[in-house]
Each structure stands twice: as C-alpha cells, then as structure tokens.
Amino acid sequence: MAVARPTSPLRQQFETERKRSAFFSFLAGTGIGIIAADTWVSPWLGVPGGLLIGGVAYVLVFGYETLMWRKHNG
C-alpha cells in the first residue's frame, strides 16, 4: 500500500495555481474557438470547435507549467 508523501506549501500553492491558470486558458480558448469556428468554419462547428480549442489551450498551459516546475524544482 502506497503512503502519500507530505507536500510542501510551495508545491501546494503551485498545484492550485497551475490548475487555475489552465482553467482560465480553457475559458479564453473556448471563447475564441467558438467565435473562430462559427465564423470561418461552419455554424454547426461553433461549440464543438470552441471546446476543442479550449481543451488544447488547457493541455498546453498545464503541460508548460509542469515542465517549468520540474525544470526549476526537480
């Protein structure tokens, strides 16, 4: 049975901020994606295209934040 390691306050703050910034990126990406997909692709692809763009933005920010944490803090 695995025992959870105690995390530092800095790590907890980072985890909270990483999720928060990724979520805000998702919201912005979704809004931009809905407008762009609806305008330039097809009215039927507005919302699905927006959610796809928002998901990509979320993954990019979450991945970047994780990479930078590992680079600077091991």
Annotated domain spans of the chain? 27-73
Instruction: Look up residue 47 and give its two tokens.
Output: 């919302």
The dihedral through the CA atoms of 32, 23, 13, 65 has a sign that is negative
Q: What is the pLDDT of residue 64?
A: 94
The answer to whether the predicted template modeling score (pTM) of the entire model surpasses 0.75 is yes
DSSP helix/strand/coil, 73: helix
Q: What is the pLDDT of residue 56?
A: 95
pLDDT digits (tens, 9 = 90+) for 8-48: 888 888 889 999 999 999 999 999 999 999 999 888 989 99
Pick 28 or 3 by higher pLDDT.
28
CA-CA distances (angstroms) from residue 72 to 39, 65, 69? 41, 11, 5
